[in-house]
Chains A and B, each alone.
Chain A
Amino acid sequence: MINAADVIALLPILLISATAGVVMLSIAFRRSHVLAAGLTLAGLAGAFISIFPALPFAPRQITSLLLVDRFALFYIGLIIASAAVVAMISYDYFEHQDIHHGELYLLLLLATLGCAVLVASTHFVSFLLGLEILSVSLYALIAYLKDRDQGLEAGIKYLILASASAAFLLFGMALIYAAAGTMEFSRIREISSGSGDLVLLGAGVVLTVTGIGFKLGVVPFHLWTPDVYEGAPAPVAAFVATTSKTAVVALLLRYFGLSSVLQYRGVFVVFAIIAIASMCAGNLLALEQRNVKRILAYSSIAHFGYILVAFLAGDAMATEAVSFYLVAYTATLLAAFGVVTVLSSAKRDADDIEDYRGLFWKRPVLASVLTVALFSLAGIPATMGFVSKFYVLATGAAASSWPLILILAITSVAGLFYYLRVVVALYSAPPARVFTETISISKSGMFNVVALSIVLIWSGIYPTPLLNLVRANMVRANMVRTDPGRTAAVLGDARNGSFVTKPNR
């Protein structure tokens, strides 16, 4: 049964759903871009604020589907914040398009809802529900500018591949259910450590990894990434790159943490191969790109390879490193896509590298923001990206996975090459021909990207507050590989709805 405490704990998710409903009704009565955007932002702000009253009730298991703990609330906060940034940079971008504006925000809210459900889910049912809410909204969002051929192509590509991967995911879940007789993450552990059918279970886990890997866009499930990033409107691409992937990584941490399947050599090796392949392919394939959105796409493939390196360490530090990395990555990519969005005109996105040539001498602020974002992606000190990369390397070193971190270091040098290509363009002499097409710089977009770049630099120089925030919110039970006895006790409590965490540092 759901009681008042459960409702308060679920308040962020409930408020996002309610906002979606309100926006839908408002469209029915009055079509107004400002109204829809305003309601969306107000709803997101309300949901964000409602995290604070929910905190005292965490951790709280609500039915067997959702677990609202500090981990989930932390990620919900991150997701809401990034969705709000996307909403804000979307306004001016879509304002000059001859389309219906309201549905955009509706879809955005639904996708955010899907993400929020994902990070709180502890059960295959909520996992699939969240994932499908997210995916279905994304199909429409990616193809939202239906006059652009590339957008339609990207939308359909995403639709087909996402459906296929969802089918794999479902099949994997069925196999696990057949082997374990349960769909709760935490119970899978009992089977995997006991006498269950390990072959079925292993096959099931690998198939679910397919579904997760597709959403993360890691090799070999990465084929959609560049096309979708290129075809989707820039703000939507930003959402796909940050919010949706953040949610799936959080789910991955939870799923593997609770079910502790990473202790199997086979699963570990699969992930290690995926990580290595993503780092190499992402960085190498980006070398030949001349399209900024595609460069960001390939770079994101590589970055999720890095995240997997930390994830594979499988201990408490890994959870922290991955979470910190996601915060840094989200802020960085939102800044980068924010600049692309602000520079885009009504006819096309500013995604060719030539659009950026000499930008520093024309628009120094935007060029500086993009420089900071690119340096953050490259992991240059004094940006948040450096601290997160350092954290990942430290996690790998602590777990003695030297081959992985060596590959990380070497491939990220290749990565530097294509980031520098954009930076070189930014600072080279402006082209002789003058663009007749003038764009009006969006004020809200400017505000967002400048704020993000300040966050990037501030957290790069003084990361302590953010590190502490991440540390305080990472549930220790997400790591069960090292201490089976204590975890079993914790999990027992979890099922009774009184999940207790003991910080051991």
Chain B
Amino acid sequence: MANAYRYLGKNLPRKDATDIVTGRATFLDDFKPAGMLYGKALRSPHPHALITHIDVSEARQLPNVHAVLTHKDVPPEWLTGLPNHRAVLDRKVRHVGDGVALVAAKTPEIALKALRLIKVEYEVLQPVFDVDEAVKPGAPQLYEQFPGNEFTPGCPVFSPEPFNHVKRGNIEEGFKEADFVVEGTYGYEKFPCPLPPESPAIIARWDTPTDVTIWATTQSPTMLKLIMETKMGDTNIRCISFNVGGSYGNKQTVPMPVFYAAALAKAANRPVKFSLSKAEQLLTYDLRLSNRVHAKIGVRKDGSVSAVQGEWLVDTGVSSDLGQGQIAVGLGEAQVMMAKCKNWDLEGRLIATNRSASGICRGFGGQELKSALIPLWGQAMKKGHLDPVECFKKNFVQPGDGYFWRDGKWWVCREVDYVKTMEETAKKFGWREKWKGWNTPTSVNGTKAVGVGVGVHGNADAGEDESEAYVRLDPFGNAILQCCVAESGMGQRNSLCKMVAEIVQVPLESVRITPSDTLVNPFDFGLAGSRGSRAIGSACTRAASDAIRQLLERAAPVLKVTPEELATKDGMIFVKNNPEITIPWIAVMGPMNTITGMGHYEADYSMPNFMIFFVEVEVDLETGQVEILNIAEGTDVGRIIDPLNLKMQFHGAFGSAGVDSAIYEESILDTETGRIMTGNMIDYKWRPFTDFPPFDTVVLESEFDTHVFKAIGVGEITGAPAPGAILMAISNAVGVDIMDYPATPAVILKTLGKS
């Protein structure tokens, strides 16, 4: 069927394209409120220590220093983390790089000079870096209130009762039904850095003693407001974001920079910018979760999973931002992947260790769990000589299958069935020709061995949380979309304008979207979990339809017809079966009025999204070097809103988002000193322009019952199935199981007994 839409499914220049290619687009670093000071932090050299003495008198006397804060001076009621546990500054430091003192000064150089004048004495404590060690009796304790270094379960924003344990069916019976049972410990433990090019930064300005404006590098201003207000006593936050220089889920609530900027701004009574250097971003800001799974899986001869049992130890470093929520989503996503399994006993535990915090990032728990779980499941498939694609087809959720989601409620899948997507993507990749069996290369040519692998992922959060939007029509044929959506690269502000233009039937230039500012916009949870297309799209399209309904209702008496007989195009209202009869909007509204439509979306977790990722790798058996030869990834998005932006979301699977966390991206922790050694963009490895392999995409459009445009988002999850697929491909190429992330040459040669 030909595309009947004016804008949807078409590649049109993004509305902000000219600003971006001319350097005019404003990022936080390009903005400066009057009187702004610069904040800097003195950071701990020890992974675990008590501050026994701190002297800031010299720093305070330095000219043009406006505030110096220690743990004695920060607002005591301000506590971030989940549950609230992390002070702005504490007498105890818990990782190398933890905050010790803060300075606000006229210039960054003066602030740094002041930091050097601060004298600190520490009582060094024993650190702990390993999750299994951290939970043992007698281990060093990070927090008094979390004995055994285990954070209290539960994420109240997601569910009133904690959801950290999937327990259903009869686990013993499940294993009895299994033909192949495997058990073991698998990990995904190198907490790579999401590394957006724009480092996290916050500017805070107190407008009254309780009202603070936070200009933030956040992809979700309302989420920042909603969550950080619960951490800062009696504070009202107005949060504004500009263009955001990448986030990948990593710049959401931006907790510590918000605390530092806001505390300094309060003390100095001036606006303060707290911007992380690249080293601070890599060494002290939120990384991906680290995790280790001790688990057992039972699989029947036909490939269906009969039982999953285990303990999932999630190492979140020094602090949990939303780790309990990530565990809840991860457990949900495991069930979505193994939806035919009736017998579960899988528990997630969130553990503190003495390294910088893990936080929110793309993948959000599920990627971490499954990057460990899929290799274990693969061992069972191997025992049964089962084809992994067939196993995924056999087990992935289909309409009628149920799962406990992050809200702790039982949801039954409707609408979405991804078997066809799996088959078509497998065909495009050439799976049938390339797959030769477990630990069996596709081909070997001298020292070069080729292997293939596959992974899947799906997330019901594509329908998460609440959104509100207003669409205001003016008399001159323009629509103003009021919705609190930031631009951090996904082009979502533009896509939402396209949806509104499609309903209001005006040129795309006539649709404008308000700045991403919590003061001027209604509630929107933000860009998270691929929710933009469905959740925010629903609110915006409903608001647009509501505005048009009001317009036509007001036009009906003027034209002496019923509203149902009317339609509008390009600012004109006409009678559908007699388009000669036409009047402009202004004839209905007058020159001094506007019409506002409202739209709302409520969370619905019954429709997970989906990705299947195929990869072919070549391993040099002499050097252990892995090269990706090609990738094919497939999904079904219901309907494509923006083809090129969608394609680029697929490409975003590289980096710590997935692919490269399996080959070379890692934060390297020196457990002797507690320091992360990868504190710059040379030591921290990333994929350069010269290294991008062919990448095929398969996109089905099955028109799901989501909203008027039948679309569901997938952006978050394109990288999530990649790590497991890549280990599988490498293991098949070399003929031996490679189970450590990242599979660097050292890991591969060691496993092959060559080093």
Q: Do A and B bind each other?
A: no
Which residues of A are in contact with B by a Cβ distance under 8 Å? Answer: none
B interface residues with partner A (beta carbon < 8 Å) = none
